[in-house]
Amino acid sequence: MPDIDRTVDINVNADRGMVTAEIPLTGHASEHWRELFGKLAGHGMQGSRAEAEKREDRTWVIWLSPARLDFHPEPTLDAASALITQVNGVEQEWQSGAAQIEAAVRSWWARRQG
């Protein structure tokens, strides 16, 4: 499961009134994981936006926020970090459920064969 890669530096850029932070992840982030992250991130980033983007070398969490003097990014970045853990848990449950269903389908098929 993906997690923040603390051995690689983040990329931070400010342009056109927005601040972008690109946070590197370790591990494999499946398409399902990235979609789930995007959906859940849309429900609580408090005026910011986050998405998981696959690139050639790894997946990055891209966090965007308006550049305002009264904005403190730490709580929102902590929420993005917690969201990675939450998505990992949901993905693990989904994989377990899929494996159980697959085993039941194969068992059903085997009974039909013999």
- Confidence label for 18 from pLDDT (cuts 50, 70 and 90): confident
Domain-by-domain residue ranges, the chain? 3-113
List the one residue out of 88, 34, 41, 39 whose CA is nearest residue 64.
41
Residues 50, 43: Cα–Cα separation, whole Å = 10
Coil/strand/helix, residue 28 = coil
- Alpha carbon 5 to chain centroid, angstroms: 13
CB 49 within 8 A of CB 64: yes
Coil/strand/helix, residue 3 = strand
Q: What is the pLDDT of residue 46?
A: 62
- Confidence label for 101 from pLDDT (cuts 50, 70 and 90): very high
Residue 54 has phi, psi (to 5 degrees) of -85, 130
Q: What is the pTM of this model?
A: 0.76
pLDDT per position as a tens digit, 20-56: 899 999 999 999 999 999 998 887 666 678 899 999 8
Q: What is the pLDDT of residue 75?
A: 83
**For the domain 3-113, what is the CATH code?**
3.30.1460
